[in-house]
Amino acid sequence: MLSLNTNASALSTQTSLSKTQTALSTSMSRLGTGFRVNSAMDDAAGLQIATRLKAQTSGMAVAMKNTQNGISMMQTAEGALDEVSNILIRMKDLATEAFTASTTDDDKTAMQSEYDALGKELANIVKNTSFGGKQLFSDGTSTDGTGGQLSGAITFQIGAASGETMDVDLTDRLSGTAGLAASLSTVSGTFNGSVTGTAIGTELGAGGTNATLDDLNDAIKAVGALRADLGAASNRLDHVYNNLQNMSTNTKAATGRIMDVDYATETSNMTTKQMLMQASTSMLKQANSMSGMVMSLLQ
């Protein structure tokens, strides 16, 4: 029907042109930002899922940092204990050499002096070994194995959820009866602040025993047991880190599938919309010329 008041073809073409323009604008926005979802209008459900996944990956990133810091703390403690082991081995050598009958009194005096100095260094290591400003083995004033970061149960947050934690308890290894502090106190009187250390050159006569060697062996075992526990905790944290890295990688990939734009597909969509825009504009011009045909009928 030819009509001056209502141009149905032009109205239909305008509607199509408006929709095509909106779709083209969306494609250009996606290609410009790199995201398929730029607002909740683009994909309401997808945005909600992607936000949850993003929060999870962010939490896992912090948890990964926690595990690495935990490993560093454990390695700091283990490194200090490695030096303690070296000192104890040297103290055992001195105690072994000082006890034999062929050692002179002057030799024993020199050995005792070194033994006492090593005992003082044991106390220094236990008091002053720290990580991030926090003493690990003791409170910085005493050497009884209490008050330090490792003197009680500690908890690492190893995930983004409240229940994802890891507990490490080295209390008995550090300050128990057979723990580090007690063992070191036995082999060195200076460990707990007394003036003189354990006498290592005392001759017990025929058939006597050098009990200091047994004490030193016990101390070396105590240090080794604590180092083993620290190593086990570090290994577990390392596995936690690897698992978190795997989960984070796959969670980020899932987020990307929701949020990221597929440039190949979206570029094709944009090209299609541009061609439709051109066609619609051309047809709108043709539709608007229909009124001229009405006027020709009135001539």
Residue 41 within any structural domain of the chain: no
Mean pLDDT of the chain: 85
Both 122 and 267 in one domain: the answer is no
Whole-number pLDDT of residue 238: 96
Query: By mean pLDDT, which of 12-16, 166-170, 203-207, 288-292 is the weakest?
Result: 203-207
Residue 40 within any structural domain of the chain: no
Both 86 and 212 in one domain: the answer is yes
Checking 232-240 for CB contacts under 8 A at 24+ apart, the result is: 233/70, 233/74, 233/168, 234/70, 234/71, 234/74, 234/75, 234/78, 236/166, 237/67, 237/70, 237/71, 237/74, 237/156, 237/158, 237/166, 238/67, 238/71, 240/67, 240/158, 240/166
Q: Which domain holds residue 125?
A: 47-258
Both 230 and 281 in one domain: the answer is no
Residue 173 within any structural domain of the chain: yes
Residue 106 within any structural domain of the chain: yes
Tell me what the mean pLDDT of segment 149-175 comes to: 91
Condensed to tens digits (0 to 9), the pLDDT of residues 39-73 reads 888 889 999 999 999 999 999 999 999 999 999 99
Please count the structural domains in the chain.
2
Residue 1 within any structural domain of the chain: no
In 3D, which of 7, 10, 24 has the Cα closest to residue 269?
24
Both 120 and 134 in one domain: the answer is yes
Condensed to tens digits (0 to 9), the pLDDT of residues 251-279 reads 999 999 999 988 888 898 888 888 888 88
Residue 130 within any structural domain of the chain: yes
The CATH number of whichever domain residue 189 belongs to comes to 1.20.1330.10
Both 285 and 181 in one domain: the answer is no
Both 271 and 212 in one domain: the answer is no
Both 67 and 16 in one domain: the answer is no
Rounded percentage of the chain residues whose pLDDT exceeds 90: 40
Both 52 and 30 in one domain: the answer is no
Both 254 and 266 in one domain: the answer is no
The span from the CA of 72 to the CA of 81, in Å, is 14
Both 129 and 30 in one domain: the answer is no
Residue 42 within any structural domain of the chain: no
Residue 39 within any structural domain of the chain: no
Whole-number pLDDT of residue 73: 96
The span from the CA of 36 to the CA of 57, in Å, is 20
Both 73 and 127 in one domain: the answer is yes
Both 222 and 281 in one domain: the answer is no
